Amino acid sequence: MDLQIIAISLGLGNFVLNWGLAFYMHLVNKNKVTEDRIGKLEGDLLQKLDIQSQRLARLEQDSKHAPNDEDLKRIHKRIDDVDKAVSVLQGEFTGANKTLCLIHDYLLNKKD
């Protein structure tokens, strides 16, 4: 009877130990896979972050050469000056066109 109890105890101990070891291996493998995934995601994130920081550096460098508010004010003033000059020229050409029409009309309707 003592041998049966010892055999059953050893069998039960072996069963519990095997299942405990299997559960431990499951947790270790699950943890390893999770760490691998996190490591891969971290690497991808760092690579994207490097790309974004390079793009940002290029934008900051290019923005140094962009016109500022004072430059835009000067450009706007010069465009206004050109608009005024074109308006004056338009008026002069309208007057010259009327004069040419009068000369043309006079020459066509001139009676000899």
Per-residue pLDDT 10s for the chain (112 aa) are 788 888 888 889 999 999 999 998 988 888 888 888 999 999 999 999 999 999 999 999 988 888 899 999 999 999 999 999 999 999 999 999 999 999 998 988 877 5
Residue 34 is predicted with a pLDDT of 86
Residue 88 is predicted with a pLDDT of 93
pTM equals 0.43
CA pseudo-torsion sign 96, 98, 99, 105: positive
Contact present, 75 and 67 (Cβ < 8 Å) = yes
Residue 112 is predicted with a pLDDT of 59
Residue 40 is predicted with a pLDDT of 93
Phi, psi (degrees; rounded to nearest 5) at 42 = -65, -40
Quickly tell me which residue has 């508010």 as its tokens.
69
Residue 73 is predicted with a pLDDT of 95
